[in-house]
Chain A
């Protein structure tokens, strides 16, 4: 066994395009490695990965590449069987991944398999004085935060929300590619993906978008979401919503923000006609900048916003779209 003590990042990708959170995590790992002298490695599984390797190269010292079509589409069966032996062999100190549907599906089971610790859905990571990982995450929908540390078992595993770290704009590593053969026996594959329905719109998921714009019951009718979608189009945002409109059947569940929906960590979140019920605001507690527009000056959403306008969304939203188009065109 080699004790490598490296920091590994699962390089999740969509059809060979590496997800942004991976670059965030590799950038953070590079920062940690400057203090600790650890090497940074990306773990890449799939096939048709030339572009992926190229984009990862400046962000890591090593890329462990398992090129095999068995990893497409993702299932925990194949990923766990591929990754676990490699981790046992190399004993990385830390293993990070995005808090995505893949990360949240794979990491709990992988941690149990490796008999090690895992902290999900983090909004911060740091290296403590003892050189160990400290993972920070919200509890109870952000009413409390916790700093969590690990036992002596390795690797220390965590998944991290989008927009937690800045992506290094001058990455200076030059990864060497280490090809690893996967050796997945067909008998271990229990569940099989038989089909995939791509979501309409093909926008980034609200958990992955830098900007999310949302409307609630204040939008009055499902067809009125058109003005929110136009605004989203202008600033490359994804469209979110509240529990009320989902329960009415106006919008898809996958776009629901809040306690029974998704927690988002957007750089900019704009809420239109959303009163700010606790169920909703618990889902936006780690957004960076929040804008609220509502006709009710006492709406709770204003307690959670950085900027507010007391006004009618049907007047504000189209004007906002036009103003943004104007200023963005003049650049």
Chain B
């Protein structure tokens, strides 16, 4: 099977992030591979182990390629960075067009991505790529079985009140949710190897895109202003002894917060 996995390096949940100005953030230099993308890489590797073929990890990023190196250290065969100064300020739709411009020239059975990246939690790029390529997608999968002969997948997807079972012809794009698998921890030796691995770079011109197709001038959505989170009033610790503290809490919830 030919499998492509879309990955992104994002600020670690522990990283300090502050509003620097209306349109600028200060982000502590602590990054990791978005967890759901690791789940996607693992899903791709499992299929490769079963059916043979190739797993390629793919990112659009001008600065960070650690998610690609993570992919290689886990076992991906190839890594590709799409990078171009004109990509600065691109919105998720432009990123999707860029990825699609590359992928539409390739033959593939499956594209995998995380259900959303753990920075903006938007969950747009994967599904928008499926639309650009005109292939079916299934979002937030927690189960995957592929019939390579029939070029068909059986998929389980999580929805609010239960689990949906679906069948889907390949090629398709699936976004992966926690629970689909447990991403492998790469061996130290493979991590070392990945540090030195060749990462192929592609720019916009190679993809047949013009700078005006991407970047902030092509953006459909734009941040007008960053805001710090609303401040919560300091916690009211209820100091009465048990069981008066429980009675006091219920009173506060009913009379002050008015939520029960």
User: A-side interface residues toward B, CB under 8 Å?
Assistant: 14, 73, 75-77, 100-102, 104-105, 108-109, 111-113, 115-121, 134, 136, 138-151, 153, 190-199, 202, 204-205, 207-208, 211, 235, 253-254, 256, 259-261, 263, 267-268, 278-279, 282, 285, 288-292, 302-311, 315-316, 319-320, 323-324, 327-328
Does B202 interact with chain A (Cβ within 8 Å)? Answer: no
B166 contacts chain A at the CB level, 8 A cutoff:
yes
Q: Are B178 and A261 in contact (CB under 8 A)?
A: yes
B-side interface size class: 35 or more
Which parts of B124-145 form the interface with A (CB within 8 Å)?
Answer: 124, 126-128, 130-132, 136-140, 142
Q: How far is the CA of A139 from the CA of B117 in the complex (A)?
A: 11
Within 8 A of A (CB), among B210-260: 219-230, 232-233, 235-238, 242-243, 245-247, 249-250, 252-254, 257, 259-260
CB distance from B88 to the nearest CB of A (A): 17
B246 touches A319 (CB 8 A): yes
In the complex the two chains form, what is the Cα distance from A295 to B123 in whole Å?
37
Question: Please, which residues of chain B bring their CB within 8 A of the CB of A149?
Answer: 221-222, 224
Residues of A contacting B35 with CB < 8 Å?
259-260
Chain B, residues 145-162, CB within 8 Å of chain A (1/0): the string is 000000000110111111
Q: Is B193 an interface residue (CB 8 A)?
A: no
Contact partner of B121 among A263, A302, A327, CB < 8 A?
A263
A33 to B25, CA, bound (A): 34
B129 to chain A, nearest CB (A): 8
Q: How many Å from the CB of A110 to the closest CB on chain B?
A: 8
Answer whether residue B77 sits at the interface, using C-beta atoms and an 8 A cutoff.
Answer: no
Give the CA-CA distance A327 to B249 in the complex, in Å.
12
Q: How far is the CA of A104 from the CA of B121 in the complex (A)?
A: 11
**Contact status A311-B242, CB under 8 Å:** yes
Is the pair B259, A196 in contact by a Cβ cutoff of 8 Å?
no
Let me know if A259 and B13 touch, CB within 8 A. Answer: yes
Instruction: Decide: A190 and B168 in contact? CB cutoff 8 A.
Output: yes
CB pair A143–B17 under 8 Å, yes or no, is yes
28 residue pairs from A and B, CB less than 8 Å apart: A101-B159, A108-B92, A111-B128, A113-B131, A117-B221, A141-B13, A144-B229, A147-B225, A148-B221, A148-B224, A149-B221, A149-B222, A151-B219, A191-B136, A192-B167, A195-B164, A196-B165, A197-B163, A208-B160, A256-B178, A259-B13, A259-B118, A260-B118, A307-B253, A309-B238, A309-B245, A319-B246, A323-B243
Q: Does B11 contact A (CB under 8 A)?
A: yes
Instruction: Judge whether A323 and B246 touch: CB under 8 Å.
Output: yes
Residues of A near B53 (CB, < 8 A) are none
Residues of A within 8 A of B224 (CB): 134, 147-149
Chain A CB count within 10 A is highest, among B18, B165, B168, B249, for B249
- Least CB separation from B128: chain A residue: A112
| Residues B221 and A150 in contact, CB atoms below 8 Å apart | yes
Give bound CA distance, A76 to B139, whole Å: 10
Contact with A along B162-189 (1 / 0, CB 8 A): 1111111100100001110000000000
Chain B residues near A196 (CB-CB < 8 A)? 162-165
Interface string of B103-135 (1 = CB under 8 A from A): 000000000000000111111101110111000
Q: Does B192 count as interface, using CB distance less than 8 angstroms?
A: no
Q: Looking across the interface, which residue of chain B has its beta carbon closest to that of A210?
A: B259
Bound form: Cα–Cα A313–B127 in Å: 43
**Whole-angstrom CA separation of A15 from B257 in the bound complex:** 34
A14 engages B166 (CB within 8 Å): no
| Residue in A100, A139, A197 whose beta carbon sits within 8 Å of that of B120 in the complex | A139
B171 to chain A minimum Cβ distance, whole angstroms, is 11
Q: Which residues of the partner chain A approach B142 to less than 8 Å between Cβ atoms? A: 253
CB distance from B157 to the nearest CB of A (A): 8
Choose one: B161, B229, B246, B257; the contact of A202 (CB below 8 Å). Answer: B161
Is there an interface contact between A302 and B220, defined as CB atoms closer than 8 Å? no
Q: Contacts A101-B140, A112-B93 hold; do A193 and B164 have CB atoms under 8 A apart? A: yes
